[in-house]
Structures are given as C-alpha cells and as structure tokens.
Amino acid sequence: MDSRYLRAFVAVVDHGGISAAAKELGYAQSSVSAQLKRLEADLGVAVLVRAGTGATLTEAGQRLVPYAREALELEERMRRAARGDRPRLRIGAQESLAHAWMADVLAALEHGAAGPCARADVELTVGNRRHLERAFAAGELDLVLQYDNGARALGPHAVVGHDRTVLVAAPSHPLAPLASVPAERLLAYDFLVAEPGCTSEMMVDRFGRDLLAGAHLATITGSLSALLRLAGHGHGVSLLPELAVARELERGELVELRLAEPLRPVSIVAQWRPRLGRAERPLHALLDLARRADPLPEAMPRAEVS
C-alpha cells in the first residue's frame, strides 16, 4: 500500500479535515482527496465520512488509525537505517519529570554516557498524564515516563526511579510554622490536585482518602505551574513528588509541611513499545541511565536492583 495514502489519512485524523490536512502536507486539496479515495479502494471499505465542516472516522477508520501510524513509523525507521542516520526515539514525560531529572538523563545519553552507539535523535513531548497516555496509545510515542498512579501498565514497563513525596504550602500558610502537622488538620484547607488521576490525587487515595473525605479538593487541570503558583499564593496545600517542587522549595516560594506520619515514596514508571528496531539499544541505554540517576535510590526494593 502506498505510504502517501496512509500519510494523507493520518493527516486528516490529526487536523480534523481534508483542507487542513492538505495545508499541513503542502498538497492541493484535490490531491489529498484522491489519495484518500485510492486508500479506500485498496482497503475495500470507507474510512472517512466527508462533511462540509470536516471529516469523521468510520468504524473501519478508527480501527485503521493505529496500524497506519505504526506503518508510517516503520517506514521512517527504514529510511533512517538506509541513510545511516541515528535512530529516532520519541519520548513522553510528565512536566514534573521533564524539567529536571529527565533533562539530565537525556543529556547523559547524548554525551555518550551509555556509549556512542546508544545515541539517538530524541523527540521529547511534555504533557499531562491524559495527553501522554493518548499519544502512546495512538503510536505517537515510543517511551513514556510517568509517576506511578496505581494503574496497571500494559506491555513492556519497569520502575526506573523513585521520588520522595512532600506536602507543600505557601510560607505564609497557617500550618507552615508547625513542627508536625496531624493529617486531620488538613481538613480545614483546600487540597490542590493537578488533574484527575494524577499522582497527587493518587497520593490522597493512598495516604488518607477517608481522613480527607471532608476536605475540599480543587483540581487544577493541565498546568502544574498554575497549581504551584496557586499554592505559593496561599490558595491551598498540595501533595506532590519532590522533583515537581524542588525549585520552588529552594527559592522559598513554597515550604514543606511535616506530617506527623511519614509518606511513602512514589515510583517513576517507564512504559515502552516493543519491536523498535535500531531504537531498542538507545531505549534500553536510557532506561539504564534513568535507574543510575534514581532521585531516591534508597527506595529501590531489593527485587528491583539489577
């Protein structure tokens, strides 16, 4: 099957219509329409429903999307191999991991810490959990690194690091002067969480949903920075991985509240796609570098030590 047909199809899926896809690809709209018709003729089934405002997927089109993306990615890997280019590795990471720890791991990979043959052309996507999981499921990412939220990962995955969990608030918060904060004292204050299903909400579940049942949970969707700024201005407390708030703690914009009961660390989980060809070596080299750069190595269970 001609890859141009698949590329036109995926462009329509990504951009919502034939006109927008044609603009993205640099083709005439009539050319993209013709490619889509040839694709449907080859498959013997309609994959799109055309409308004046755009195009929507048929059931067959929905089933085709992941295979089309996989085929295009395979073609890209073949081209790179034939030209002798470095393999491409598409990585997704949560914002709290990307701006500190992940940057150091990627720099070590690029500078040859795992050997020159393990280098790759890295494309890093930073996003919230929902965005990363959707992109990974769609075949747009090869590797995703996230904090553990208790959900079961499908396919190859491993714990590559750990982080301390901290309860933070503004320096002016009424709880800040206390040497030890009983969990029940939190009931009087807003509890900020980054997004539904995020690490901070998982931590609430794990460390005291019953205890915090009377607390007001305020969800700040899509922006860790906004959550940190709100906390820094005294709008609530938040339970987060330390990497997410290290800079704010260092600058004194936030302070750590010492809970009477210690908090358990949270794992950093890597999930990757199988059968990545020449990208397998840099992927596993990166995983090894991540383990060596574990922010909290003392939290590694013996069973996980290689």
Q: Which residue segments constitute the domains of the chain, with CATH numbers given? A: 3-82 (1.10.10.10), 86-163+266-304 (3.40.190.10), 165-257 (3.40.190.10)
Question: Per-residue pLDDT tens for 239-259?
Answer: 888 998 999 999 999 999 988
Question: Per-residue pLDDT tens for 120-139?
Answer: 999 999 988 888 988 898 88
Question: Per-residue pLDDT tens for 26-41?
Answer: 989 899 999 999 999 9
Provide the pLDDT for residue 130: 84
How many C-beta atoms surround the C-beta of residue 91 within 10 A? 24
Q: How confident is the model at residue 306 (pLDDT cuts 50, 70, 90)?
A: very low
Q: How confident is the model at residue 47 (pLDDT cuts 50, 70, 90)?
A: very high
Question: Per-residue pLDDT tens for 148-183?
Answer: 877 777 789 999 999 998 889 999 999 999 999 887
Taking alpha carbons only, the member of 86, 84, 64, 70 closest to residue 9 is 64
Provide the pLDDT for residue 302: 47
Provide the pLDDT for residue 202: 53
Rounded Cα–Cα distance for residues 1 and 111 (Å): 39
Provide the pLDDT for residue 190: 83
Taking alpha carbons only, the member of 234, 227, 175 closest to residue 199 is 227
Rounded Cα–Cα distance for residues 18 and 9 (Å): 9
Rounded Cα–Cα distance for residues 157 and 146 (Å): 11
Provide the pLDDT for residue 259: 84
Give me the mean pLDDT over the 89-110 stretch: 90
The rounded percent of the chain whose pLDDT value lies above 70 is 88
Amino acid at residue number 183: A
Provide the pLDDT for residue 79: 86
Amino acid at residue number 224: L
> Rounded mean pLDDT of the chain?
85
pLDDT beyond 60 at 281: yes
Strands 143-147 and 88-93, by their bridges, are parallel
Q: How confident is the model at residue 260 (pLDDT cuts 50, 70, 90)?
A: confident
Rounded Cα–Cα distance for residues 33 and 40 (Å): 11
More confident site: 22 or 299: 22
At how many degrees (to 10) do helices 224-232 and 242-251 cross?
A: 40
What residues form DSSP beta bridges with 163?
266
Give me the mean pLDDT over the 37-52 stretch: 90
What residues form DSSP beta bridges with 39?
none
Question: Per-residue pLDDT tens for 188-233?
Answer: 888 887 766 555 555 555 555 444 555 556 666 567 888 888 899 9
Provide the pLDDT for residue 211: 47
pLDDT beyond 50 at 77: yes
CA 50 to chain centre: 33
